[in-house]
Chains A and B, each alone.
Chain A
Amino acid sequence: QVQLVQSGAEVKKPGASVKVSCKASGYTFTSYGITWVRQAPGQGLEWMGWISAYNGEKNYAQKFQGRLTLTTDTSTNKVHMELRSLRSDDTAVYYCTREEGSGTGWFDPWGQGTLVTVSS
């Protein structure tokens, strides 16, 4: 079955960087893009960015421009999300999810989520 499995929880100090991985299985990796969404404690879902696993094309939310980098590794079917210059308000659960229906896209399935805690 289609599955996305993310790396484990991270604790970082303000100003540091974090890198979260998302391993895809059960489908042809290069046929879909992967989106990252985060959810701060008690809050809603926030889109961060997307990367094509086919050609590496990227689309980042303006809010994260300059701090966010998405990369793919087709040899391991993994997508990596790196967020730099972390602040306390970056504390959140970060999800990767597969995008379907290009142009009017929806997201299915979702990874289990990775909690990133930013604290001094």
Chain B
Amino acid sequence: SYVLTQPPSVSVAPGRTAGITCGGKKIGSKSVHWYQQRPGQAPVLVMFYDSDRPSGIPERFSGSNSGNTATLTISRVEVGDEAAYYCQVWDSSSDHPMFGGGTKLTVL
């Protein structure tokens, strides 16, 4: 089945830019979706179709996808952005979705 690889953790200072990567074979040919999960809460969709933001998600969140890496970028990071972030694609070979292992974003 298709494997998605995320760094376990990313640290960033408030006000700086954080990039969270999601690696997969030819992931640029797939649609990548991203979820934010704050501690003790359910996941929340923050990006779909690589770079589309759902209503209510700040413009500080953006996405890109090319080659073997998709990236969720958070500009002007705030303390409230501290959470785990998961990427997700649809694995056509198995006909089910796959999630990355998640990245814990720490705001220093």
In this complex, the interface size class of chain B, counting residues with CB under 8 Å from chain A, is 20 to 34
Q: A59-B95, A110-B42 are in contact. Are A45 and B102 (CB under 8 A)?
A: yes
**Residue among B33, B35, B90, B96 making CB contact with A61, cutoff 8 Å:** B96
B96-A103 in contact (CB<8A) = no
Indicate if A26 sits at the interface (CB-CB under 8 A): no
A92-109 CB mask vs B (1 if < 8 Å, else 0) is 000101001101111111
| Interface SS, A side | strand
A104-B96 in contact (CB<8A) = no
B42-A104 in contact (CB<8A) = no
B99-A45 in contact (CB<8A) = yes
Indicate if A32 sits at the interface (CB-CB under 8 A): no
Indicate if B67 sits at the interface (CB-CB under 8 A): no
A52-91 CB mask vs B (1 if < 8 Å, else 0) is 0000000101000000000000000000000000000000
**Residue among B33, B95, B98 making CB contact with A106, cutoff 8 Å:** B33
**Residue among B42, B49, B98 making CB contact with A101, cutoff 8 Å:** B49
A: residues with CB less than 8 A from B are 35, 37, 44-47, 50, 59, 61, 95, 97, 100-101, 103-113
